[in-house]
Every structure is written in C-alpha cells, then in structure tokens.
Amino acid sequence: MAKNVSQSNQKIVPLQSVEQRIFLIRGHKVMLSTHLAGLYGVKPKTLIQAVKRNMDRFPEDLMFQLTREEFENLKSQFVTSSWGGLRRATRYAFTEQGVAMLSSVLRSKQAVQDLEPVIFNLQPVT
C-alpha cells in the first residue's frame, strides 16, 4: 500500500535552508558539493568519491568544478566561516539535473528522500 505524503517518514528540510545554499554561478542556479553532502547525510569526501567513480554521468552542464577565484568570491560574501576552513581541493557545483544524477549515484535513502525540495528550488533562471 502506497504511503500518503502526509504519512511519510521523510526528514523535513526547511525550504529556507535549501534556498540559502543556492548560488548563481556561470549563469546557472547551483548547489555546492559540501552543502549537498550535508543535506544528503553523507561526508563531502564520500560524495566526491561517488562522483569521481561516475564521471561519465556528470557532463559540464550537470556539474563543474569551481575555479579558485569563484570559490574565494563566494567565501568572501559570508561573515561567518561555515566553509570548513581552507581546503586544497576546490568545490564542485551541481545544477538541477546534476543534483538528480547525484541522488542516483549516492544510493542513500536520504539522498532520494531529500531530492524533491532541492529540485524544486533549482528551477532554471529566466
């Protein structure tokens, strides 16, 4: 028997918390790999490893790596340091379709459950 949406056991992700993690970069609404890892309940390293094992599924229109300049520009816009300190590797940005593909390669229950609010907020820029 299918569950009614109101009876679901899904984790509630506040819409505002998702919206605050959407950035406009290179003309695309994207979410960063570290933020997606947090939403999906996996470590950032695990997320990136899953992506690297499936690079053929992530063409540049689904995911791209931020340049050092793009990353520094984003980081400078925030007063608090919620960026995890300095990192050697730059972060990845995922478009709406990239988030959907990421959900399928992560194979975690939470990734599948949390996909809908992320996709809803990453609608194309008009």
73-105 residue pLDDT tens = 888 876 555 555 445 566 899 999 999 888 888
Task: Report d(CA 62, CA 102) in Å as an integer.
Answer: 9
Task: Report d(CA 45, CA 118) in Å as an integer.
Answer: 20
> For residue 10, is it within any domain?
no
> For residue 8, is it within any domain?
no
Task: Report d(CA 40, CA 18) in Å as an integer.
Answer: 12
Query: How many Å separate Cα 73 from the centre of its chain?
Result: 18
Q: Quote the number of domains for the chain.
A: 1
Q: What is the pLDDT of residues 45-80, one digit of tens each?
A: 889 988 998 999 999 999 999 998 998 888 887 655
Q: Which domain holds residue 103?
A: 20-121
> For residue 36, is it within any domain?
yes
CATH assignment at residue 107: 3.10.260
> For residue 9, is it within any domain?
no
> For residue 81, is it within any domain?
yes
- Name all contacts of 79-83 with Cβ < 8 Å and 24+ positions apart: 83/34
> For residue 98, is it within any domain?
yes
